[in-house]
Amino acid sequence: MICSQVQRQLAVYLRGAMEVADRRALECHLSGCEECAGYLFQSTYVNGGRVQMRDSEAPSESLGRSIRA
C-alpha cells in the first residue's frame, strides 16, 4: 500500500468496515510508516476520538506501540 491509499482508507478502517485482508495490509503499512501512523493518531485522538471502533476490529497492540513510539 502507498500512503495516499492508506490515508484515504483510514475512516473505513476506524469504523471497522474493512475486509480482514485489507485491514491487515493497512496495519502492516502503519507499523512501518511514521507519517501514516501519525495521521491515524491525529484522526483518532486529536479529533476527539469521534470515530469508535468495535473491540473486535481494534488494531493490534504492536501497532499501538509503534504509533506511540
Please tell me the class of the 3-68 domain.
mainly alpha
- pLDDT over 70 percentage in the chain: 64
Highest mean pLDDT among 1-10, 37-46, 58-67: 1-10
At residue 57, does pLDDT exceed 60? no
pTM given for the model: 0.63
How confident is the model over 11-50, as pLDDT tens digits?
888 888 899 999 999 999 999 999 999 888 887 765 555 5
Domain residue ranges of the chain, discontinuous segments joined by +: 3-68
Could you write out the three-class secondary structure of the chain?
CCHHHHHHHHHHHHHCCCCHHHHHHHHHHHHHCHHHHHHHHHHHHHCCCCCCCCHHHCCCHHHHHHHHC
pLDDT at 59: 60
